[in-house]
Chains A and B, each alone.
Chain A
Amino acid sequence: MSTTERELAAFMAAAQAGDGKAYRQLLDRLSVHLKGHIRRMLARMGSNGAAELDDILQETLIAVHGRLHTYDPAYPVIAWVNAIARYKLVDHYRAVGDNRRKIPIDEVETLMSEPEAYQADAARDVERLLSTLPANLRRPIEEVKLRGLSIAEAAGAAGMSQAAVKVGIHRGMKRLIARFGIGAPSMAGNG
């Protein structure tokens, strides 16, 4: 079981027991996951409409809310929520009455499963690499490189100067490269 899945399962168990904070964490994480998942399903169908993505994402979140009791702790949270998203996507097109559009869902699922697994692995790898850095070097990288904040935003959030953030990123990257021999251009790119 991956780190993500373990966390989701813990939040889910607490949310089912009535813990509102855990429920918010669960919804926040599921919403991030679902955005990517639904976008990929839509892309497979030849659609890139952001409005559709938002509609289906929200319909799925509402369904998650109303059907929280249908999650069985013996099964992965991701599989449960993906099944709901897929159902809501099919339902969305049925409701819209768009019968011309083919929904090759079965195919989607088989095609998706592998890249998604890779992605989860990659996310775990990054998490593990970063965990080897001290916090003062890790945070700037997480916020700027992973979460996409600007240098100024990261500096504000961490209460550091912009120069300190830049130096932190630089030193952190150097240390990761030295330790793991990661390809320098891809990691050092993007500003």
Chain B
Amino acid sequence: MASLGNDGGQLLDTDQLIDRLVADHRRVNPHWIERACLLAAGAALAVAIVLVAAVIGFRDDIPAAVMEGRILAKYGFVVLASLTAGLVYCRMARPGRRLKVLWLAYLIPLGLVIAAAAITAAGRGLGDIGATVADPNWRFCVTLVPAFAVIPFALFAAVLRRAAPTDLAGAGFATGILATAVTALAYAAHCPADSPLFVAVWYPLAFLIGGFAGAVVAPRLMRW
């Protein structure tokens, strides 16, 4: 693409440049971003499933536990978080969009999981709540989810490099949130801690770690 702007080091005038661009013109798909995001999400999920299966394994009570209400609620949250993150990510991929406004969308899944946690906490003693939140599994959640999300992040970042985000740090944040949320789809089938109290604290924290890491690396990674 850069070669279009110069001719063996000799600069073109704007009319000549336009001639070249027109000559190089091809049909484009205005929904390319959404399609690429879906493809990347599929690949990212596959990578996360392989990593979870190979490194920490899935929980062994899966067939029996799946229909339990709180596991469904946990999955409901992670799925909703992934969808929300995907929508924010696709928006951030286009010029002129800023996270300053779009981050509010994250409050939808976050608010729901906090509400579920509040319902769970109702009528329980502080000690009981504390013990549920501080389930030792939290260490794995906040370290392994971001760690397993590195390859998914790279996939989503590769899509953004071919898109046109103008708020690079914001786009990186959205990419980090999406990568960790998709990874959590696989991780949630490993983690035996299912209480909304646990999920409402540690999953969002894992996503935030991914988001901030993404915001830090994106300006170098996604420049176009």
Contact = CB atoms under 8 A, between A and B. Distances in A.
Interaction A to B: yes
Interface of A: 15-18, 20, 23-24, 27-28, 31, 54, 57-59, 61-63, 65-73, 75, 79-80, 82-84, 86-87, 91
Contacts of A20: 22, 25
Contact of A61 (B21, B27, B95, B224): B21
Given A23-B25, A61-B18, 10 more contacts: A18-B28, A62-B2, A65-B4, A67-B95, A80-B96, A83-B95, A84-B164, A86-B166, A87-B164, A91-B223
Contacts of A62: 1-2, 4-5, 17, 21
Contacts, number: 90
Nearest to B21: A65
Interface residues of B, number: 29
Interface string B2-17: 1011000001101001
A49 B1 CA distance: 25
B33 interface: yes
A61 B14 contact: yes
A61 B4 CA distance: 10
A-B pairs, top 7 by smallest CB distance, nearest first, are: A83-B96, A18-B27, A83-B95, A69-B28, A67-B164, A70-B164, A87-B166
B17 A58 contact: yes
B163 A70 contact: yes
A65 B224 CA distance: 13
Contact of A65 (B1, B14, B32): B1
B125 interface: no
14 contacts: A27-B21, A58-B17, A61-B14, A62-B5, A62-B17, A65-B1, A65-B24, A67-B224, A68-B28, A70-B163, A71-B30, A83-B166, A84-B166, A86-B166
A54 B6 CA distance: 13
Taking chain B's interface residues, is the majority helix, strand, or loop, or is none over half, making it mixed? loop
A60 to B, nearest CB: 10
A18 B26 contact: yes
A31 B33 contact: no
Taking chain A's interface residues, is the majority helix, strand, or loop, or is none over half, making it mixed? helix
A8 to B, nearest CB: 15
Contacts of B28: 16, 18, 68-69
Nearest to B90: A72
Nearest to A15: B25
A103 to B, nearest CB: 13
A190 to B, nearest CB: 26
Given A16-B27, A57-B14, A62-B21, A79 B96 contact: yes
B93 interface: yes
B22 A69 contact: no
Contacts of B18: 24, 27-28, 31, 61
Given A20-B22, A63-B164, A69 B32 contact: yes
Residue among B4, B94, B164 facing the most chain A CB atoms (10 A cut-off): B164
A29 to B, nearest CB: 11
Interface in B14-53: 14, 17-18, 21-22, 24-30, 32-33
A107 to B, nearest CB: 15
A68 B162 CA distance: 11
A63 B163 CA distance: 10
